[in-house]
Chain A
Amino acid sequence: MSIAHESAASQGPLIYRQALITRLTHWTWAVCLFFLLLSGLQIFNAHPTLYIGNQSGFGFDNAVLSMRAVDTPHGAEGRTTILGHEFNTTGVFGVSGSADDPSYRGIPAALTIPSYRDLATGRVVHFFFAWLLVATLIIWLTASFANGHLRRDLTPTRRDLENFPSDVRDHVRFRFHHGNSYNVLQKLSYCAVLFVLFPLIIATGLTMSPGIDAGFPWLVEVFGGRQTARTLHFLAMFLLVLFFVVHVMMVLLAGPFNELRSMITGWYRTSPDKNASEEEKP
């Protein structure tokens, strides 16, 4: 990471932090995940129930999550059942839309592409961005291995792990240090997304394909059945949404201008501290 110029005493130096390929893949993923989430929820709406095992229980009960509309004396109500616990989710899940024109669907129109029920289009959108996500992951992995991003920026060092407790304390107090490298919580969460959640959501997605299952039957075995894979796909989606919320929150709290600039232009303003000035020495 090169240092651009000496800045005012209150600010650390501006450093070139993000390589072009890191920035390109980051924003491609952002677009992919947006479309994958909303088209995925459209697909989910075609049968808004998740099960454990190979098949869906119609003559027996192996559901772990379901969203449905039920008739009550007060009109239609949305019910969401998670592991046997039923919640009234009228207005959001099961029944949504206006009171005059209620819509009986698992996920509301605002969270699906297209807004109305259209499984065919949901699938077309989903599979296109699924391919794009996988291609981007392969490109990123190759480039990050080659340019040292993986080793230099993402692999937690021994010192990172020693700093883990203090880093957690700093985050809890919203005290952010803008260093040359990612802090340990960043490293761990990015690694969890890139090396756990992405592979999990891709593999469970593939396991739902009957063609892939014929070619690679062990995939179904690994996940404990096609319907379990579908449930895990949904769970991985939920964890990615959770990551997204925290990620955006951290960007806003740590200084959105600086953080966004680093992910758009590559240049990042570090905090003035002795570590940074030490690195300036030739």
Chain B
Amino acid sequence: MSKIMLTRRKLLVTGAAGASSLVLGGCDTFDFLSQNDSAARAVLEKANDLTYHAQRLLIRNGALATEYSETEIRQGQRPNGSTDPQTNEYLTLKDNGFADYRLSVTGLVERPRNYSLSELRNMPSRTQITRHDCVEGWSCIAKWTGTPLSRILDEVGLKPNARFVVFHCYDKYDDNAGAVPYYESCDLVDARHPQTILAYGLNGESLPVANGAPIRVRIERALGYKQPKYVHTIELVDSFAHMGRGKGGFWEDLGYDWYAGI
């Protein structure tokens, strides 16, 4: 009996020691990994390149994100991030029902041009019911209608050195050093993907301001931050080193992975 008592005490001490070492482990020992210039972080970030290349290798360029049926639309698309931009340019456009909106396509293209909203709406469209996965962890299913980006790219013609598509937006975000415009980018595989559309419709209606009116990009094989809202310019580039902090997007500049397929 006494032997069992002893071992029970041992058990308790053991459990407490185990638990406390676990708790102490977290704390702030590894907070230095948050610093974007830390050498250790640079090593850890290599895993993102591995993920990007592994996914591009394993997954067909044209593989479609799952499309759902109408019955799976059980709620409105949850608005997140900017939901009501306050820049003067945007407010002026909004007051006029986006009649004066022009999407400009520039950069490394043969024939730069602008598109009005009605021009975009009159082009062949694609409608898809897809799952929006936010980097925070939640998902929401909605129906998106828009112009395939590949069609726009074909019309303007890409120069041979064009490697990335950058989306410039009307909404501004605070990045600790002041408000900066939101921007995002993707490679040509995602840009030419059949489900990549410039969406102007959501769940059968005009895209609401909260969800990115008048134009929001859908890149269905990526997380929510790769779906820029309030887009005004599409720029073809060979590098995004000269933009923002050079990481290819607003959230990327703050430390998020550029490849958002994971």
Chain A residues within 8 Å of B, Cβ to Cβ: 34-35, 38, 43-44, 46-47, 49, 51, 54-60, 109-116, 118-121, 123-125, 127-128, 130-131, 173-174, 208-217, 220, 226-227, 230, 244-245, 248-249, 252-253
User: How many of chain B's residues have a CB under 8 angstroms from any CB in A?
Assistant: 64
Query: Contact at A120–B220, with CB atoms within 8 Å?
Result: no
Query: Contact at A59–B44, with CB atoms within 8 Å?
Result: no
Query: Contact at A211–B44, with CB atoms within 8 Å?
Result: no
Cβ of B105 within 8 Å of any chain A Cβ, yes or no, is no
**Known: A120-B256, A248-B18, A253-B11. Contact between A57 and B27, CB under 8 A?**
no
Q: Restricting to B10-46, which residues have a CB under 8 Å from any CB of A?
A: 10-11, 14-15, 17-19, 22-28, 30-31, 33-34, 41, 43-46
Query: Contact at B133–A47, with CB atoms within 8 Å?
Result: no
- Which of A110, A124, A210 is B41 in contact with, Cβ under 8 Å? A124
Give the nearest-CB partner of A127 in chain B: B47
Docked CA distance A68–B115 (Å): 45
Smallest CB–CB gap between B258 and chain A, Å? 11
Of listed A35, A44, A209, residue having the most chain B CB within 10 A: A209
Query: Contact at A56–B48, with CB atoms within 8 Å?
Result: no
Cβ of B241 within 8 Å of any chain A Cβ, yes or no, is no
Q: Tell me which residues across on chain A come within 8 A of B15, comparing CB atoms.
A: 245, 249
Smallest CB–CB gap between A204 and chain B, Å? 13
Chain B residues within 8 Å of A, Cβ to Cβ: 4, 7, 10-11, 14-15, 17-19, 22-28, 30-31, 33-34, 41, 43-48, 50-51, 55, 58-60, 63-66, 68, 72, 74-76, 78, 131, 133-141, 220-223, 251, 254-257, 261-262
Smallest CB–CB gap between B55 and chain A, Å? 5
Give the nearest-CB partner of B65 in chain A: A214
Q: Tell me which residues across on chain A come within 8 A of B135, comparing CB atoms.
A: 46, 119, 123
Query: Contact at A59–B11, with CB atoms within 8 Å?
Result: no
Could you name 20 residue pairs across A and B whose Cβ atoms are closer than 8 Å? A34-B25, A44-B137, A56-B139, A57-B75, A59-B74, A59-B76, A119-B135, A119-B136, A120-B257, A123-B135, A124-B255, A125-B44, A127-B51, A209-B261, A210-B222, A214-B63, A215-B59, A245-B15, A249-B14, A252-B14
